[in-house]
Amino acid sequence: MSRFAAPIAESIWDMKYRFKSADGTPIDGTVEDTWRRVARALAAVEKEPETWEERFYAALEDFRFLPAGRITAGAGTGRNVTLFNCFVMGTIPDDMAGIFEMLKEAALTMQQGGGIGYDFSTIRPRGAEVKGVGADASGPLSFMDVWDAMCRTIMSAGSRRGAMMATMRCDHPDIEAFIEAKRDPARLRNFNLSVLVTDPFMDAVRQDKPWDLVFGGKVYRTVQARDLWNKIMRATYDYAEPGVIFIDRINAMNNLSYCETIAATNPCGEQPLPPYGACLLGSINLARLVRDPFGEDAELDLQELDELVRTAVRMMDNTIDASRFPLPQQKEEAHAKRRIGLGVTGLADALLMLKLRYGSEEAARQTEEWMHRIAHTAYLASVDLAREKGAFPLFDAEKYLASGTMRQMDEDVREAVARHGIRNALLTSIAPTGTISLYAGNVSSGIEPVFAYAYKRKVLLKDGSRIEEEVVDYAVQLWRERFGDAPLPDWFVDAQTLAPLDHVRMQAAAQKWVDSSISKTINCPEEISFEAFKDVYLAAYESGCKGCTTYRPNPVTGSVLSVSESAEKAPEVDQGADVVYLSEPLERPQALEGTTYKLKWPGSEHAIYITINDIVQGGRRRPFEVFINSKNMEHFAWTVALTRMISAVFRRGGDVSFVVEELKAVFDPRGGAWVNGRYIPSILAAIGGVIERHMIAIGFIEGEGLGLKSDPKADVKVVGEAPRGPACPSCGQYDMQMIEGCMTCASCGYSKCG
């Protein structure tokens, strides 16, 4: 009998988590094989691996503990991938060499499957003087465009695309441009954006005071704080970004405030991290722990919860030692502090089974009790690990007990930590679980309400035809099994009908006992008025949240999936598209024909040599790979990164001429150069020109300036149809919906965030 509660769960496992050979042949025959593989890999670091393997397997069985996707997909495979889902990269220096070194590090991290966060507040504002080169700075947003183009070229481990978070302080001179950046529907599509909001700024907003925009000690402009706040509110109302991160609260509540300062988060916001910080994620599936669901004696099995939490903490701590890391700095940071992010999923389903209405005060109290129980057990489990294996290396008892969340922890936990130390500096976080919640039988994700009780999913059969199958929420399915077609009671509410402040109440209740943060999206109906919407972020701040993200369907990002109990049929994919994207890279023949070009940049001692090799496809030559070489060691890092990224794009197929326009648009604030009577704004733009001339020579594009101006997947419209959600890059269906900051496909389960 299958362990899967729904067909979509098995599909997700097969597509995302099942271990397969390079040719696609399954190695994991069943989901039990997957659990065994993960359990064995995480137990391998133990002194008694066989004993712990059985305990770990028992925790994984029946989807009770759900390690994050990177762990389930990568543990025990021997592949060069990281088991960590999220990273914050190093601090970006305010100079060109340092900026591109950071770009290279980002590419390497994404290549292994990690999502990344960056604070761009460290880059001088647009128009600032760049001393020594006689030019003005192009500002942080211009470099964010470079990061965005890089992200498009990197296909992470498996089918998971890299995700990025960009933050900027509320007092940076370019903050208004940052707030408005995603009004352009084709710009920064691979970024989530959040403003770092400080306590002094919130005080200035309340009192309607002036607010200085400052960089390097210089005041560039002064604005009214309330006007700036309203710009944030209007932007997120109009196109769902930026979110806000209450950065002073995050640092004040950090258990490690004595040895680190945080300025960024991972892509979905649940992990505020220092430079090179890394955190792995896992979730207790509360929906599987309810006894007598919907009955008179319905309750969460607290003893089983405690046992699961203790085992999960050990599994996640072992993952730190079992994982590879893209960069040595990330490994050093992870081992020095041993952060883990244990959270929950299926919360809304569990509340439904206890007849509690999500968003009510009673549901919030129950949520707080459960999260308190999890935190208490997790901390004591980590103390026990410290007694056995040692505390995290940067542990300082006096400073740790006086920091962050530890100040409010239960006295028995504080006493245990003082006596024995603690293995993991931080332990709890609530992550987006869009994909793993589907894998677990379509339980409600994270602490979100049920998004839809039922919807139709299109399934592509081997003969090319499609069928529709119903996808039903886990709790609703249990209700149907017990009560047949009886109407759902009034405590069944979903994300489409909840008031925004109900969302905030639930997030605040959970945050009290989560030492990191929470990924939560407040879904609002399209028809909500701005007046009713604009106080949501303020309510989140006042109630103790560490950040806030909203999503309202809008013309820029599109509408979310239309859902109902009957779930209307989704529109068919437009068959007349001019651009074809291949799901797998083109295979490389043994020999390729190509051309090498010499590029001499004025002022540089050594030339750059650019080799472009072509492949013949359908009787037509197209660029397949690029090699960029120079004897100038100052160019080494970024030329290698550029070689890999451009080649990765070319091998995906489709119309890749947008690469030319992306490169030609790069501006060097130190100044460009005149080459053959034309002004070229940067070396990268010159390389773009070389690639363009090659594309013209082989007939791939017709002439100069005739390449695509941007990646055509960024903005797809079908003439003659009503507005709808964006197309899924995996299956092509227009079924993408925003869940916890992640665009997730209802048809195939693809998630931008993993």
Give me the chain's average pLDDT, please.
86
Sign of CA dihedral 381, 383, 387, 393: positive
The stretches of 591-655 forming alpha helices (DSSP H) are: 636-650
Both tokens of residue 196? 């770092």
Q: 256 with 401: CB under 8 angstroms?
A: no
Cα(644)–Cα(638) distance, rounded to whole angstroms? 10
How many other CB atoms are found less than 10 A from the CB of residue 414? 16
Q: 109 with 259: CB under 8 angstroms?
A: no
pLDDT at 160: 46
Our count of domains for the chain comes to 2
**Could you tell me if residue 623 is inside a domain?**
yes
Q: N- to C-terminal Cα distance for the chain?
A: 28
Instruction: Encode burial over 488-499: b for 16+ CB neighbours within 10 A, e otherwise.
Output: beeebbbbbebb
Cα(588)–Cα(726) distance, rounded to whole angstroms? 32
pLDDT at 573: 33
How crowded is the C-beta side of 349, counted as CA atoms within 13 Å?
A: 31
How far from the centroid of its chain's Cα atoms is residue 611's Cα? 35
pLDDT at 471: 87
CA angle 135, 136, 138 (to 5 degrees): 125
Cα(349)–Cα(491) distance, rounded to whole angstroms? 11
* Residues of the chain under the 70 pLDDT cut: 1, 113, 154-162, 458-466, 557-587, 618-619, 633-634, 669-671, 706-743, 745-754
What's the Cα-to-Cα distance from 55 to each of 35, 50, 495, rounded to whole Å?
11, 9, 36
Cα(689)–Cα(701) distance, rounded to whole angstroms? 13
**Could you tell me if residue 239 is inside a domain?**
yes
CA angle 3, 736, 89 (to 5 degrees): 90
Sign of CA dihedral 746, 70, 339, 266: negative
pLDDT at 435: 87
pLDDT at 662: 82
**Could you tell me if residue 649 is inside a domain?**
yes
> What digits encode the pLDDT tens for the residues 350-363?
999 999 999 999 99
Strands 340-345 and 454-460 come out as: unpaired
**Could you tell me if residue 240 is inside a domain?**
yes
Domain boundary residue, one of 206, 228, 252: 252
**Could you tell me if residue 212 is inside a domain?**
yes
pLDDT at 541: 96
- Length of the chain measured in residues: 754
Cα(754)–Cα(69) distance, rounded to whole angstroms? 6
Secondary element (H or E) of residue 547: strand 547-551
Strands 191-197 and 243-246 come out as: parallel
pLDDT at 157: 36
Long-range contacts of 358-366 (CB under 8 A, 24+ apart): 358/449, 358/450, 358/493, 358/498, 358/502, 358/506, 359/449, 359/493, 359/498, 359/499, 359/502, 359/503, 359/505, 359/506, 360/502, 361/505, 363/506, 364/505, 364/506, 364/508, 364/509, 365/509
Cα(754)–Cα(737) distance, rounded to whole angstroms? 14
What's the Cα-to-Cα distance from 749 to each of 136, 175, 446, rounded to whole Å?
45, 35, 16
What's the Cα-to-Cα distance from 282 to each of 114, 311, 431, 458, 683, rounded to whole Å?
15, 12, 8, 29, 44
Which of 561, 556, 497 is closest to 184 using CA atoms?
556
Looking at the chain, the number of H-run helices and the number of E-run strands are: 24, 27
- Domain coverage including residue 139: 101-153+162-252
**Could you tell me if residue 76 is inside a domain?**
no
DSSP state of 629: E
Q: 359 with 506: CB under 8 angstroms?
A: yes
Q: According to the 3-state scheme, what is the secondary structure of 338-378?
A: CCEEEEEECHHHHHHHCCCCCCCHHHHHHHHHHHHHHHHHH
Which of 624, 628, 614, 644 is closest to 684 using CA atoms?
628
Amino acid 334 reads A
Cα(105)–Cα(137) distance, rounded to whole angstroms? 23
Domain boundary residue, one of 220, 252, 284: 252
Q: According to the 3-state scheme, what is the secondary structure of 157-181?
A: CCCCECCEEEEEECCCCCHHHHHHH
**Could you tell me if residue 350 is inside a domain?**
no
Domain boundary residue, one of 252, 277, 294: 252
Assign 223 to helix, strand or coil.
Answer: strand
Q: 420 with 383: CB under 8 angstroms?
A: yes
Q: 686 with 679: CB under 8 angstroms?
A: no
Q: 610 with 686: CB under 8 angstroms?
A: no
Q: 378 with 313: CB under 8 angstroms?
A: yes
Amino acid 503 reads H
For residue 125, whether the previous peptide bond is cis, meaning omega lies within 30 degrees of 0, is: no
How many other CB atoms are found less than 10 A from the CB of residue 279? 27
| Contacts (Cβ under 8 Å, ≥6 apart) of 678 | none
**Could you tell me if residue 298 is inside a domain?**
no
Phi, psi of 622 (to 5 degrees): -145, 150
pLDDT at 565: 39
pLDDT at 751: 66
Supply the residues annotated as catalytic: 266, 268, 270
Both tokens of residue 266? 């991972």
Instruction: Encode burial over 224-243: b for 16+ CB neighbours within 10 A, e otherwise.
Output: ebeebbebbbebbbbbbbbb
